[in-house]
Amino acid sequence: MYEHDVIVVGAGGAGLRAAIAAHEAGADVAMVTKLHPVRSHTGAAEGGINAALREGDDWELHAYDTMKGSDYLGDAPAIETLAKDAPEDTITLEHWGMPFSREDDGTVSQRPFGGLSFPRTTYAGAETGHHLLHVLYEQVVKRGIQVYDEWFVMNLAVSDEPDPNDRTCHGVVAYDVQSGKIDGFKARNGVIIATGGPGQAFDHTTNAVSCTGDGQAIAYRAGVPLEDMEFVQFHPTTLPSTGVLISEGVRGEGGILYNEKGERFMFEHGYANNDGELASRDVVSRAELTEVNEGRGVEDEYVHLDMRHLGAERILDRLENILHLAEDFEGVDGLVEPMPVKPGQHYEMGGIETDENGKTCIDGLYAAGECACVSVHGANRLGGNALPELVVFGKRAGYHAAGKDLGEAEIETGYTSDVEEETDVDLPVTPGEAGLDPNPEAVATDGSGQALDAEDALERAVETERARTERLIEKDDGVKHADIRAKLQEAMTQNVNVFREEQGLKKALKAIRECRELYQDVYVQDPSRTFNTDLQMTYETRNLIDVAETITLGALVRNEFRGAHWRLENQERDDENWLKHTLISWNAGKPSIWYRPVILEGEDKTYEPKVRSY
């Protein structure tokens, strides 16, 4: 058993920043990550960090753009916190040595990005995330923060009160990938989940193979609601054959989208008469797919992104990485020909419900970064707003977990009996745990309703995972996780994509149910305890199933068109009925759906929902 004040799960941008903050606040902090920190998917972020740094810009403008971009589903206290903290936190990165692109006077450069009223995206070439990740890891090395790398967190150790709001998180159970050892990590103060998104629920995604929604799934099963999961961002410019991301920076610098007929369709077909290619991501993704669906796509599959007119010098200066990606992964030279692009899953706006200090409804459990939903991004995240979210809310969660006073949060968390519940949804199958077994997945609960003390909770969680692992490895025959994962990805990509309709969503729920049933027969073929990725991926696949189900349930109940979520049956934003967050609680295997109103009241003003046009 290991013991620290604060345990950070995941070592991408949010996790590293949280660990640094907790350390600064005097805590004994350790990171537990299934990868080595520098392998984390923050490194693939390209575009930049939005922060109001310059004359003519201010945090209120950043907050306004973000609220509008969110299609009025972001919570004002979260958005305003992001916009206010981002400048200082960005400059802190500079002080830590981040190699930002520079102006002639030596100050950091900023560029225009979609949905922004001011060019406030601070960047380091088209590889901002890589530099951010490495700079943060350097600071972790400098501080001597303990990193348990290649330890896969299997579950949380949480006490077992019936009401999740009364529960306490005491630590995590993790699996040392190199040795196969399963052990407990006790957290005296708190556990911070920073495990990134669930992109692998889809098969055409910019996300890494490691992005399997682990943190969301374990928090969900421990009783924390997942919020607004139906809002999945499909990035408009990914390479068709691999899903590799082509940064929005290309359009920010002036790149143009053309259909097969050579029409600049964003303008010529009226998708965004003012902002064109720099409209918000959801708008551009739908435009591209509409072009393809109406027969104007290249090869009936994609459109062209052309940056040749920017000139080699500017491209090499600001977008060089894009040339390499297009060459290596699509065989296209961006200097001499347009690049083929199509929408691909990119970002999960929803996630673990937290307040603006990163806290969940379970005492001692925090979340930050893509896995969390504060909510800053609402129905659609603006380009350049993910990286500031990592540093701003990673830092806050780290401080808070270490005991620093950040003031009372304005955002409420956790289910209470006075919330609006969804009672009228027609589900084709029962969601949730298949064949509810006597070993509940989530909490170390024995149903007695008695609070377990920290040691007992941890010990029991460790025993549960050891037994499960043993079962999986000892089982000689059955279904492979890879087959289940492939089935899940196909169902999600077919039915829970950019354009959604009721029948398709129901089909997806049925397929997810089938995946759950297949999973009851899953087995791990590799008998080894050494670096058993077969075992790890089997755990990950289970996490993906739970998270994919929440995405689909949310998409089915939300019968309106808002931000990234489009519904055939109701192609209008419905503010009268839907200015509210969708929350899904696991309830020990019997999910329920409920709602909480969006907070549009900011510090000094109320954001009035307006028609979102670009």
Partner 1 sequence: MSTQEQQPEPETEPETEPETQESPADPEMSGLASPQQRRLQRKAANLAERERQAAEDESNLEEDTVHLKVFRFDPEVEDKQEPRFDDFHVPFERGMTVLDALIYARDEYDSSLTFRHSCRQAICGSDAFFVNGSQHLGCKTQISELEQPVRVEPLPHQEVVKDLVVDMEHFYEQMHAVEPYMQQEDLPEGELEEMRQSRENREKIKMSTRCIWCAACMSSCNIAAGDNQYLGPAAINKAYRFAMDEREDEEIKEHRLRIIEQEHGVWRCQTQFSCTEVCPKDIPLTEHIQELKREAVKKNLKFW
Where in 292-331 is the site for partner 1 (CB under 8 A)? 299, 301, 312-313, 316, 320, 324-325, 327-331
Nearer to partner 1, 111 or 567 (CB): 111
Taking a C-beta distance cutoff of 8 angstroms, is the pair 398, 192 a contact? yes
Options 18, 27, 40, 112; binder of partner 1; rule CB under 8 A: 40
Q: How far apart are CA 208 and CA 300, in angstroms?
A: 26
Burial class of 379 by CB neighbour count within 10 A (0 to 12, 13 to 18, 19+): buried
Task: Please give the residues from 128 up to 167 whose contact with partner 1 meets the rule CB under 8 A.
Answer: 130-131, 134-135, 138-139, 141-142
Q: How far apart are CA 502 and CA 166, in angstroms?
A: 36
CA–CA–CA angle 512, 433, 215 (5° rounding): 80
To the nearest whole angstrom, how small is the minimum distance from the Cβ of residue 321 to partner 1? 9
Q: Tell me which residue has tokens 């200097």.
A: 335
Nearer to partner 1, 80 or 560 (CB): 80
Size of the site for partner 1 (CB under 8 A): 83
User: Got the DSSP string for 337-384?
Assistant: SPEEEEEEEEEE--EEE--TTSB-SSBTEEE-STTEESSSSTT-PPTT
To the nearest whole angstrom, how small is the minimum distance from the Cβ of residue 201 to partner 1? 13
Asked if 589 touches partner 1 (CB under 8 A), the answer is no
Options 533, 569, 577, 603; binder of partner 1; rule CB under 8 A: 533
Options 332, 387, 457, 547; binder of partner 1; rule CB under 8 A: 332
Nearer to partner 1, 204 or 396 (CB): 204
Q: How far apart are CA 290 and CA 280, in angstroms?
A: 16
- Convert residues 424-453 into a mask of x (bound to partner 1 by CB under 8 A) and - (unbound): ------------------------------
Q: Where does this chain touch partner 1 (CB under 8 A) — which range of 253-261, 400-408, 529-537, 571-579?
A: 529-537
Asked if 64 touches partner 1 (CB under 8 A), the answer is no
Any idea of the CA torsion for 576, 579, 585, 591, to the nearest 10 degrees?
A: 40
Asked if 20 touches partner 1 (CB under 8 A), the answer is no
Q: Which residues, at least 6 apart from 531, have a Cβ–Cβ distance to it below 8 Å?
A: 177, 178
Options 527, 569, 590, 601; binder of partner 1; rule CB under 8 A: 527
Instruction: Give the 3-state secondary structure of residue 248.
Output: coil
Asked if 61 touches partner 1 (CB under 8 A), the answer is no
To the nearest whole angstrom, how small is the minimum distance from the Cβ of residue 485 to partner 1? 8
What is the three-state SS of 543-563? HHHHHHHHHHHHHHHCCCCEC
- Convert residues 85-114 into a mask of x (bound to partner 1 by CB under 8 A) and - (unbound): --xx--x--xxxx-xxxxxxxxxx------
To the nearest whole angstrom, how small is the minimum distance from the Cβ of residue 303 to partner 1? 14
Q: How far apart are CA 5 and CA 139, in angstroms?
A: 19
Options 251, 281, 516, 596, the catalytic residue: 281
- Which two three-digit tokens encode residue 17? 């920043």
- Which residues are known catalytic residues? 281
